[in-house]
Amino acid sequence: MTERRTADDLGAVRALTFDIFGTTFDWWTGVSAQVADIARRAGVDVDAGAITDAWRDEYFAALNAVRTGAREWAHLDVLHREGLDRLLAANGLSDSFDDAARGDLVRSWHRLPLWPDVAGGLARLRPRYTLCALSNGGFALLTNLAKYAGSPFDCILSAQVAHCYKPDIQIYRTTSELLDLQPGGILMVAAHRWDIAGARAAGFRTAYVARPRERGPNRAAENPAEVECDLVVHGFDELATALGR
């Protein structure tokens, strides 16, 4: 059920920015299925779900390294590849996946399924709002994801454009500048507390989307009760209703 957590009026909102991995797309299901498929073709017996979990951990570690300056800025595909190489080595799988297979694994993040409520919710929101993807994924990756999902956004912005990763405040500021809107004219829609917190710090309005299966079946989801935001919803259909569409 939709829950309002602030008294802030959302009537000034003109654009909605959507987090992609976990909020709009079910990355865990998509990546784990492709890992299983690529492993099968490589003739390797692996726990695709465990690899997917470990790969996501590598991603967060890499983001932190970039954000703290320990590693220079690099594109998500590069970070994904480095993390994959590390986790394969750590699990004695270095000889199991050749360069081509690793390339296919990295590209598995370019084609993912939408959560079932997304297409309908975005179609209802689109006549009133500018809908913008805003993700740590690379620009080409996001363009591919959106194209294969039926192009539900009006525009795409990426960490690669801002040259920094969410939740750095600069990425939200760059977004506000490019959309030519005050931060309060933008609603960040995300299933991650850290993204919501970053957007709030930049002055965005925020809608938290509870996604109980965001981390897949092996891990507990974030607890929505702990998130400071304007609005909590349980899908994009509910978001459209909350915004009067």
Q: How many CB atoms lie within 10 A of CB 64?
A: 12
Site string for a second copy, 185-224 (x = CB under 8 A): ----------------------------------------
The distance of closest approach from Cβ of residue 126 to a second copy in the complex, given in angstroms and rounded to an integer, is: 8
| CA-wise closest residue to 9 among 188, 240, 193, 231 | 231
| Binding-site member from 4, 40, 41, 147 for a second copy (CB under 8 A) | 147
Among 51, 146, 164, 191, binds a second copy (CB under 8 A): 146
Say if residues 111 and 28 touch (Cβ distance below 8 Å): no
Q: Which is nearer to a second copy, 121 or 152 (CB)?
A: 152
**Chain centre distance of CA 178:** 20
Is 178 a binder of a second copy (CB under 8 A)? Answer: yes
Let me know: does 83 contact 63? Beta carbons within 8 Å. no
Alpha-carbon distances of 1 from 76, 209, 236, rounded to whole Å: 34, 11, 12
The DSSP line for 174-195 is HHHHHHT--GGGEEEEES-HHH
Angle at the Cα of 182 from the Cα atoms of 178 and 187, rounded to 5 degrees: 90
- The answer to whether residue 179 forms part of the interface with a second copy (CB under 8 A) is yes
Regarding 180 and contact with a second copy (CB under 8 A), the answer is yes
CB of 204 to a second copy, least distance (A): 16
Is residue 158 within the footprint of a second copy (CB under 8 A)?
yes
Which residues form the interface with a second copy (CB under 8 A)?
75, 77, 130, 132, 138-144, 146-147, 151, 154-156, 158, 160-161, 178-181
